[in-house]
Homo-oligomer: A and B are copies of this chain.
Amino acid sequence: MISNKMADLVAGSSLIRAMFEEGKRLSKIHGIENVYDYSLGNPNVEPPEAIKIAISEILSEEAPGMIHGYMNNSGYEDVRQDIAEYTNKINGTNVSKDHVVMTCGAAGGLNITFKTLLNPGDEILVFAPYFGEYRNYASNFDAKLVVVPPDTSTFQPNLELLPEYINEKTKIVIVNSPNNPSGVVYSEKTIIDMAKVLKDKEKEYGHSIFLLSDEPYREIVYDDIKVPYLLNYYSNTIVGYSYSKSLSLPGERIGYLVVHPEIEDLNQVMSSLNVANRILGFVNAPSLFQRVVAKTLDARVDINVYKKNRDILYNHIREVGFEALKPEGAFYLFMKTPIEDDVKFCADAKQFNLLLVPGTAFGCSGYVRLSYCISYERIVNSLPALKKLWDLYK
């Protein structure tokens, strides 16, 4: 009775639901503290104190009608200008409020970008492993998601294969770095080489190919690794950002897009993003939190919590025998499964109360994702279970 598309999507999402239910079932039997749920990308570090302070200040200093009212569908002009200036300061760009759209998280930003750029049948390229939700966003606009196979030696985008995956229908290439699920940061060389391929292909096909950088994990990086800012490498670029992870505000749905000042048809693109925000039903990014993030541009959650988790988990699984690249950012570890069938591996893991997500969900079989945004103590307690899981295949 529901729409055909949704019937498929509901069936698909029932797998996630099934895992969630499995977690609840195991918790009932073994106690919640004895279930090691590595399946959810839900930040466990508290938002910085600056958020609470900012909200209190805004409530006491500004008129309620101003705080909670309508504004331009692209967001408050002063907030957009603050974000533009901060971006310029940190990344050496040259953008203004006219290149910024406040969005309902990165998810909202990606959807208004798709609505702006895509005709039905257009193709979106992603590099495996990739965040599975892109497939659903593509389906919203009847676009086709095309997956470039992984380079499992580095988990950098597979640029050797890239050219053959581009055709006259390719409209958008999505880059997600620090990457969910691999934890890899795409290097500057990767970005330069990728930009070169895309520029060549733009010439070959005589139309623009847009680079869409999905960066909710930009600030979640370790060991002083630099994340290249894509606006500095390719002009047909849109960067989507979210405060969900850097400020642990995933429920508040606040983020933004930055559009390259020299993108093709800048004015049309900005007008369209504005209108798309309205007609897709977002209308505007939540107003109080627009003002909050403008007041807390330098604030961050305590990254060391995630780093400590990464270190103990990574060191342990390597010691035990698993193969994995050391995550450089985000809060995910992407581990090679000792058997080919990653779905079976995840099923096997449940006997040790370990909840993992198969790499197949990210277009990369033979791997599993561990989200280590859980308590350090829980990770410590899970280590023997991970050892037992390895021993199962010896």
* Residues of A bordering B, CB below 8 Å: 1-7, 9-10, 13-14, 42-44, 46-47, 51-52, 55-56, 59, 63-65, 67-71, 104-105, 107-108, 110-112, 115-119, 133, 136-137, 139-141, 207-208, 248-253, 264-265, 268-269, 271-272, 275-276, 278-284, 286-289
Contact = CB atoms under 8 A, between A and B. Distances in A.
B105 A275 contact: no
B251 A104 contact: no
A321 B105 CA distance: 50
Nearest to A65: B46
B52 A64 contact: yes
B281 A107 contact: yes
List the 7 shortest-distance A-B pairs measured between CB atoms, nearest first: A251-B287, A111-B281, A107-B281, A136-B279, A286-B286, A1-B265, A6-B272
A357 B55 CA distance: 37
Given A44-B65, A59-B52, A105-B281, A251 B71 contact: yes
B68 A252 contact: yes
Contact of A70 (B1, B42, B70, B284): B42
Contact of A6 (B115, B207, B250): B115
Contacts of A4: 119
Contacts of A286: 251-253, 286, 289
A381 B119 CA distance: 49
A70 B251 contact: yes
Contacts of A59: 52, 55-56
Given A52-B64, A117-B2, A265-B1, A281 B280 contact: yes
29 contacts: A2-B117, A3-B118, A5-B115, A5-B119, A6-B276, A7-B268, A9-B276, A10-B268, A46-B65, A56-B56, A56-B59, A65-B248, A68-B250, A69-B251, A70-B251, A71-B251, A104-B282, A104-B283, A107-B281, A107-B283, A111-B280, A111-B281, A139-B279, A251-B284, A252-B287, A280-B280, A280-B281, A281-B282, A288-B289
Contact of A116 (B3, B56, B249, B253): B3
A31 to B, nearest CB: 22
Contacts of A269: 1-2
A140 B115 CA distance: 9
A248 to B, nearest CB: 7
A6 B56 CA distance: 39
A71 B252 CA distance: 11
Contacts of A6: 115-116, 272, 275-276
Given A42-B70, A52-B59, 7 more contacts: A1-B268, A3-B116, A47-B64, A52-B64, A68-B249, A111-B280, A253-B253
